[in-house]
Structure 1
Amino acid sequence: MLITIEGIDGAGKSTLLASLKKELADCDPIFTREPGATWIGQVVRQAIAEEVDPVAEALLFVADHAMHCAAVIRPALDAGRLVISDRYTDSRFAYQQVTLRGHLQDPRRWLAALHEGWSIRPDLTFLLVLPVHRALERLDGENTREHFEREEVLTEVQAEYLARAGAEPSRFILVDAEEERGVIASFVAEEIRRVCELRGRYPRS
């Protein structure tokens, strides 16, 4: 089963993932991330820092995703493992649709075509939703922010996330990221256990 954690920068994904490693230790899940799980992910990080051409940047993200699926996701799923990914395809559609505006006529259609036929759809996605001004308060100082972490970008990105969630309500679970961290972690862990139990994969602790 593939579980993904999504949300704008500053929403609390890293904190949640750290808590889930403890909450779900008995399920022995594989934790991974995009970008960063493959060597291409390191190139993506460099591209983000240097603010390369948006099309080139998007293609690097897709290349990282392809290797991530081939080297990590698919083998783990074939082995019957529970996989939890910090960001996945929804991040790309949310962020790159924003950064590609003005560069491509239809960014969503272009991105969908790039993923067609090989990308692996998540079974369940938790979307951490947080007011943009609160997310910015959690990030480092303005001078150290990446270009994705600007207020106008994050506002549009969150709107894209919510639109995707609205289009696939059976896959997405929206989480109030302003809630207390422990409450969020317990809720997400319980939902993962519930879904796994329904599929006869993991017992409740």
Structure 2
Amino acid sequence: MLITLEGIDGAGKSTLYEGLKTRLQDLEPVFTKEPGSPLVNSAVRREIGANRDPFAEATLFVADHAAHLAQVVLPALEEKKLVISDRYSDSRFAYQQVSLIGIVPDPKAWLTAVHAGWSVRPDLTILLLISPETAMNRLHERPGKEHFEDPAFLEEVQKKYLERVTEDPERFLLIDAAQEPETILDFVEKSIRALPRQ
């Protein structure tokens, strides 16, 4: 089973991810994240930090996803393991669909085509929803800054996430990320434990 955690920067994904690592140890899940491939991650991070070409950035994210699937996700799923990923393909359909506006004629169509036939649909996607203003307040408290960290940009990204929900509603579990982290963690843990084991 593949479970993914999604949301705009500052929504609390990393906090939830780390909490689940502790809470779900008995299930022996494979915890992973994107970008995360050893082959591609450093190039992705350089591109994000430098605010360079959006198309180059998007293709690097796709390459990272392909490597992540081949090296981590697919082998774990073949062994019937629970996989929990901090970010996955929905991040590209949200972030890159916004950043590629004006770069390619139809960003959504391009992203759909480039993932077709090989990417794996998650069984469950936990989407943390929060106002961009609250997210930015949280982001100001952590070191470093990525070019995605802009309230207007994050607002558009969250809209793209919600479009994904309307297209595949059964896959998503929506969470009000303005709640206390412990409250969110409790609810998500219970939700995961209630899922039928494959």
2:30 is matched with which residue?
A: 30
Per the TM alignment, residue 142 of structure 1 is displaced from its structure 2 partner at its CA by: 10
Q: Which residue of 1 aligns with 2:100?
A: 100
Could you list the runs of 5+ residues in structure 2 that have no partner in the other structure? none
Q: Does the aligned pair in 2 maintain the 1:73–1:83 contact within 8 Å?
A: yes
CA contact (8 A) 1:23 1:186 kept: no
Give the C-alpha shift of residue 193 in structure 1: 1.1
TM-score of the superposition, structure 1-length normalised?
0.93
What amino acid maps onto 1:76 in structure 2?
A
1:42 shift after superposition: 1.5
Q: Which 5+ residue runs of structure 1 have no aligned equivalent?
A: none
Tell me, yes or no, if structure 1 residue 44 matches structure 2 residue 39: no
Find the aligned partners of 1:142 and 1:23 in 2 and give their Cα distance.
Answer: 24
Q: CA deviation at 1:140?
A: 2.5
User: In structure 2, how many angstroms separate the alpha carbons of the residues matched to 1:143 and 1:102?
Assistant: 31
SS in 2 for 1:149: coil
CA distance, structure 1, for counterparts of residue 186 and residue 38 of structure 2:
29
- The one-letter amino acid paired with 2:85 is S
Map residues 114-193 of structure 1 onto 2, 5 A cutoff: 114-140=114-140, 144-193=144-193
Q: How many Å apart are 1:147 and its aligned residue?
A: 1.1
* Conservation of the 8 A alpha-carbon contact between 2:49 and 2:145: no
> TM-score of the superposition, structure 2-length normalised?
0.96
* Identity rate, percent: 54
Structure 2 distance, partners of 1:18, 1:188, is: 12
Q: Secondary structure at the match of 1:117?
A: coil
Q: Aligned partners of 1:161 and 1:65: how far apart in 2?
A: 18
Paired position in structure 1 for 2:56: 56
**Paired residue for 1:19?**
19
Report the AA paired with residue 162 of structure 1. Answer: L
Q: How far apart are 1:141 and its partner, in Å?
A: 6.7
Question: What is the alpha-carbon root mean square deviation over aligned residues?
Answer: 1.5
Shift of 1:104: 0.9
**2:67 corresponding residue in structure 1:** 67
Secondary structure, aligned partner of 2:194: helix
CA distance in 1 between counterparts of 2:42 and 2:145 reads 18
Task: For residue 173 of structure 2, give the secondary structure of its aligned residue in structure 1.
Answer: strand
Return the offset for 1:144: 4.5
Aligned pair count?
Answer: 198
Residue 108 of structure 2 aligns to which amino acid in structure 1?
R
Residue 190 of structure 1: how far off its partner (Å): 1.0
1:122 offset after TM fit, Å? 0.4
